[in-house]
A and B are shown apart, each in its own frame.
Chain A
């Protein structure tokens, strides 16, 4: 009875309460300042970081400090003409070696001409990227050799901080579809480690080409087909598919297939074992109403090693093992056949402007895993982040072989 009375009184008070709340909100809005924000052609950020690591036995600590300047410029300088330039300068100091290192990464430097709304041509160094998966992108054909300096192992950072390839690219668009063709010629024989070298040899040491076509078939179905090739290799076919399963879930499928030798035969110059090989990454991203996003991905590399091959390499000659790992890392490929990837991001965790991110990479073949956690708080112009990485696994496994067992990193980024 008392409860019913209370509910009745509450219901009666409801509209009045709402009116008061609305009046308070409108009064607040009356006092809101006038903010004039203008689009800018440039974006510049500066980052400072300090890293501490816990080493496996026998490895010396490689604690270090970092400073980075990142800039992006995109300007329409004449009717139908646009210039794009993106560059990152990384400075690092390794305490143990008293070693200072400078690496400049020229990400983009190209001109774009759009003579008609649906026809575009680009010429220059372009960081072109394909793929809908989160942790492994088999159709990202221009990723090989593109990373000069690993800033963070966060997949988003690996995609961002890399060299573009010099190319001529053309695109035509129609309603709900487009066709892109590009040609990236050989311009140098080998990479150049010079600090400020444009390092064209890292990305343009072979003639390469790519054709991409997409057609939106419905709200939920928008496939993209790719056909890519490089000098001395059979062409590869690629497919990117995404679909919306429900209001909160996106499913994706990324596949690349074609005749190619295995990674181990390429890395160690073994007998040609060319065969049709598939690479794929497929997963789901689910987002909750409480701002939590979860991505679970399965990754398959048909050119990587299976359990027997991987065990044989791990137990064999150390130089051959090292050569294989270095080769695969340069290609940004997976050393073993099967992996899994879990990514979790919680935006505004506990308090607003505080984000928690974590990912787990699991090698299904050798059961080693990499765990990564980031806590990030952001103000209007400043981000403060703390990152932790744990590499676990047996000796010689994908993640157990890394010299650091744990890495802690604190970063501060200022956005100008």
Chain B
């Protein structure tokens, strides 16, 4: 009886497992990185984009607020985006226009996949442990994983529910499947190529497979991780025209 109580006490809760996996993907202090996106359709590369992202967790909501500057392609270079919850602004330095965009509008752009990177899932989803099982990771290695079912607790999120596999040994996210409210499978993400970045082994590549058309694949690579000072005063519409990453 005492032994059972001991196990129950030490076993992490589904929510703790999820939070630990968030900490692997997301550095604990304000940081910057470069995201390169390669998009494939039917095996052929159809797009290539690069973004510089400065991110900082909001002290109240725990969710990340980001300033994003487009680096490539040339037509979009130096355009900017602010993501502060559902307060989304797009700024084009040519027309000097700060345009408020809806979450649905953001999904039109490549940066839409950015939410797979800097999002604290434990803040917006309730996790349930479905099983412990072996699953193949992005490197085709079998990993012993917690399989979690996440259900959105906030109406502001892009995905209504998520299935997530997290390595039982080291809390690394291995794989996730994202679903809409109607149950449509929207995308699958594999977190892979773990390397030490900002003191923790983090995934440096996410492979995203479209749920409706599996021949649509996006490879997201993360580089140039660095701690960055991101004052709160920068995370607003009026600073967008001023933002210039180092």
A residues near B (Cβ < 8 Å) are 18-19, 21-26, 28-29, 32-35, 37-40, 43, 45, 72, 74, 76, 82, 86, 112, 114, 117-118, 120, 127-129, 131-132, 156, 159-160, 171, 173-178, 180, 214, 216, 219-220, 222, 242, 244, 246-250, 252, 285, 287-289, 291, 293, 347, 352-353, 378, 380-381, 383, 415-416
Contact = CB atoms under 8 A, between A and B. Distances in A.
A120 B78 contact: no
Most buried by A among B50, B97, B101, B214: B97
Contacts of B46: 352-353
Given A156-B97, A160-B95, A214 B77 contact: no
Nearest to A414: B74
14 contacts: A19-B136, A21-B214, A33-B38, A43-B74, A72-B94, A112-B242, A160-B95, A178-B238, A244-B87, A250-B100, A287-B108, A291-B108, A352-B41, A380-B73
Contacts of A353: 46
B214 A43 contact: no
Nearest to B97: A159
A203 to B, nearest CB: 14
Nearest to B85: A219
Most buried by A among B99, B221, B245: B99
Contacts of A21: 209, 214
B116 interface: no
Query: What 10 A-B pairs are tightest by C-beta distance, nearest first?
Result: A37-B50, A415-B74, A21-B214, A248-B104, A178-B238, A173-B233, A129-B96, A159-B95, A242-B100, A37-B72
B9 interface: no
A344 to B, nearest CB: 14
A248 B103 CA distance: 6
Contacts of B151: none
A216 B74 contact: no
Nearest to B210: A25
Nearest to A381: B74
Contacts of A177: 236, 238
Interface in B210-236: 214, 217, 219, 221, 229, 231-234, 236
A208 B182 CA distance: 55
B114 interface: no
